[in-house]
A = this chain, B = another copy of it.
Amino acid sequence: MIVALAGGVGGARLAHGLAARLAPEDLVIVVNTGDDFEHLGLHISPDPDTVLYTLARLADRERGWGQTDESWHFMAALGRLGGETWFALGDKDLALHIERTRRLRNGDALSQITLDFAAKLGVAHAVVPMSDDQVRTIVHTDEDALAFQDYFVRRRCAPVVRRIEIVGANKARPSPGFHAAMQSPQLTGVVICPSNPLLSIDPILAVRGVRAWLENRNFPVVAVSPIIGGKAVKGPAAKIMTELHLNVGVRGIADHYAGLIDGLVIDTQDETEIATSPALAIHATDALMRDDGDRRRLASETLQFLATLSAP
């Protein structure tokens, strides 16, 4: 059994590839909830929804978020009423937010709700929020401390990042599905998907016990680089790494995950940047996922590479 750690679009795409290669009982996709927030009185879970939509083949491929064939009548009507429209919520998308919010208020756990949504949307593989406890990513910038979506959507990542804080993580317990996977004797490896290491993966690692679980692992861990050709495929990873004076290339990814991973999948463009060392094996390939074929191929290669690795 494989545990995949995932955040937004890149993570969802590799998770989709992994789901095409592994039986439902052999894969647990653990998703970042640090980006979750309350908006218009609704609990929005951007990363879990992106993973759900991607696996259900409902994700919009152009936009990179939300559902395909979406309509925006709610948004237009809200704008007419003078409501907040900086965070776009499609009409179909709203159904998840309203039903999730209703069930959370009813006392249901986020992870149970997400599993139920997955089942209803025809997703056979386990999509597991990292925690049912509240974790919120706060981006400290040169202007202000911003809630993640304020930074990411409202401010379009413009402010210079000084520090990223993951509020609540030290008190957050892994969700039951994640906890069970962490403890499972069937666990044979972990894949860190090509998501933003600072914004998408760090919140998962910050959940109580997760970093120690990886540090003391008796299974191999492989990360897939979200940086290709020295740039982030999507999103602000490279910009933020620069602002935090981190090495932006695949070297920076390796440094960031030092001690936590045994192998790193990189693009052939970046092969000159890093070589296999005793501490870290490198697999270079075409790491860009343009279509479903790429997702499956990269997933296959990652799993095969993982099978060659062993715990430190």
Contacts and interface: CB of A to CB of B under 8 A. Distances in A.
Q: Among the interface residues A77, A92, A120, which one has the most CB atoms of the partner chain B within 10 A?
A: A77
Nearest to A90: B73
Interface size class of A (residues with CB under 8 A): 20 to 34
A41 interface: yes
Nearest to A99: B83
B71 A73 contact: yes
A273 interface: no
A91 B71 contact: yes
Given A41-B101, A102-B41, A94 B80 contact: no
Nearest to A76: B92
Contacts of A101: 41
Pairs A-B, 8 closest by C-beta atoms: A77-B95, A73-B91, A77-B92, A78-B95, A91-B91, A41-B102, A83-B99, A74-B91
Contacts of A41: 41, 98, 101-102, 105
A78 to B, nearest CB: 4
B77 A91 contact: yes
Contacts of A76: 92
A120 B77 contact: no
A279 interface: no
Most chain-B CB neighbours within 10 Å: which of A42, A75, A81? A81
Interface string A63-76: 00001001101111
Interface in A84-132: 90-96, 98-99, 101-102, 105, 116-117, 120-121
A96 B105 CA distance: 21
A292 B90 CA distance: 34
B116 A82 contact: yes
B74 A95 contact: yes
Given A71-B73, A74-B74, A83 B95 contact: yes
B92 A73 contact: yes
Contacts of A92: 73-74, 76-77
Contacts of A90: 73
A80 B98 contact: no
Most B-side CB within 10 Å, residue of A74, A75, A117: A74
A95 B81 contact: yes
A293 to B, nearest CB: 28
Nearest to A78: B95
A52 to B, nearest CB: 10
A95 B80 contact: yes
A116 B80 CA distance: 11
A40 B80 contact: no
Nearest to A75: B95
Contacts of A40: 98-99, 102
A120 B76 CA distance: 13
